[in-house]
Structure 1
Amino acid sequence: MASFSLHGIAVSQGIAIGRAHLLAPAALDVKHYLIADEQVEAEVERLKSAIKTVRHELNTIRSELPKDAPAELGAFIDVHALILSDPMLQEVPQNIIRNRYYNAEWALVTQIDELSAQFDEIEDPYLRERKADIQQVGERILKVLTGSAIHLPPADGDAAPNIIVVAHDISPADMLQFRDGAFAGFVTDLGGPNSHTAIVARSLDIPAAVGMH
């Protein structure tokens, strides 16, 4: 069997050996279509419902954190909850639906792309990387809208974790959901040493490589 090597940024120490499990971004499968005038408010409600579901998910993850968990883990969930409540992510996509007649997914992706472009103009590298948090929150909403929830294969009994998650990006909230499963490490296209995902990986002592492109 042929083998090959990929190189990225090691953000957490350790070695993980296992089977690759690909998590495809929901944004890649988003359908773009125009809706009729009488469908507008129903589409707005669909977006509101997805945001409400994500808020409940984040609250659940936050409440289930172990008492001895590092403080930054809860802080990252709080950051995503704040982003979720921001009018730029809640109200603007609704206005896009009403004014341009875009379906909910298209409206959300349009706004995320606009916000991401604004962050690309920021000179400070740490603040510029916060673009990833907005994209991760948007991705979570999209997965609810498209019904493509993230899940991993069940753990193999008492066997050691043997799944290497391969993804375009993974949010801190998703990593916290994975922590009790068959999750041995992860590899992502995006991210850097200062990304929230990298910090969570170090806190959970999970081998990780980011910035694989």
Structure 2
Amino acid sequence: MSDKELKKTFVIKGIGVSPGVVIGKAYLFDRLDAQIPFYKLSDPGLVNEEIQRFRKALRESEKQLLELKSRLGDLGGGMDPLYIIDVHILIMKDRKFVDQTIQNIRKMKVNAEWAVRMTVDKYREIFDRMEDDYLRGRISDIQYAGQRILANLAGKKRAVLDIGE
């Protein structure tokens, strides 16, 4: 069988980031929906280690998003949707998001993964009460940022999967 015969057409449904029709390579982002570990930190020294793990995961997450933005930008075509990547980076740098997660680690003496989950859950509660549908829907950006941080805490690489043209 030739390569042309092996190629198949299939449909993937999702949420578009911009209007219109695009022809070219498609990129599929995997979602991290794994269980989040929970454990208490018995030793005060572990609290600082856990905060450092969280900060390292933040740095790695930002690095990955910047690399992704660069790769997507290289595709050309005036990719305005790249601003969504900036939004995710800004969420990870948001002082309240970071401070809330660190506070969860310190006060609750829990692991970084659980602290991130607690922070994202708190934001979800706040956004769920918003009257504006658009703003209420932006919780997905916070959840995505949280999922990327969790993947890095777990040592999992979040890759962009090239599914062909």
TM value normalised by structure 2: 0.76
Structure-2 residue corresponding to 1:60: 67
CA contact (8 A) 2:41 2:111 kept: yes
Task: Tell me the percent identity.
Answer: 27
- Going by fraction, where is helix more abundant, 1 or 2? 2
What is the rounded CA distance, in whole Å, between the counterparts of 1:10 and 1:62 in structure 2?
A: 19
- CA 80–68 in structure 1, closer or farther in 2 if over 3 Å, else same: same
- Corresponding pairs, count: 143
Matched, 1:107 2:115: yes
Structure-2 residue corresponding to 1:40: 47
What is the rounded CA distance, in whole Å, between the counterparts of 1:99 and 1:10 in structure 2?
A: 38
Gaps of 5+ in 2: 1-12, 23-27
What is the rounded CA distance, in whole Å, between the counterparts of 1:100 and 1:33 in structure 2?
A: 10
What is the rounded CA distance, in whole Å, between the counterparts of 1:38 and 1:75 in structure 2?
A: 39
- Cα distance, 1:149 vs. partner? 2.4
Structure-1 residue corresponding to 2:126: 118
Spell out structure 1 runs of 4+ moving beyond 4 A.
Answer: 8-14
Structure-2 residue corresponding to 1:170: none
Structure 2 SS opposite 1:123: coil
Structure 2 SS opposite 1:115: helix
What is the rounded CA distance, in whole Å, between the counterparts of 2:90 and 2:14 in structure 1?
A: 28
Q: CA RMSD in A?
A: 2.6
Which amino acid in 2 is paired with 1:50? A
Matched, 1:182 2:163: yes
Which amino acid in 2 is paired with 1:89? F
Matched, 1:93 2:93: no
Map 1:1-213 → 2, pairs under 5 A: 23=30, 25-26=32-33, 28-36=34-42, 37-64=44-71, 65-66=73-74, 68-151=76-159, 177-178=160-161, 181-182=162-163
- Going by fraction, where is strand more abundant, 1 or 2? 1
- Cα distance, 1:24 vs. partner? 5.6
- CA 123–46 in structure 1, closer or farther in 2 if over 3 Å, else same: same
What is the rounded CA distance, in whole Å, between the counterparts of 1:47 and 1:183 in structure 2?
A: 34
Structure-2 residue corresponding to 1:200: none
Gaps of 5+ in 1: 1-7, 15-20, 152-176, 185-213
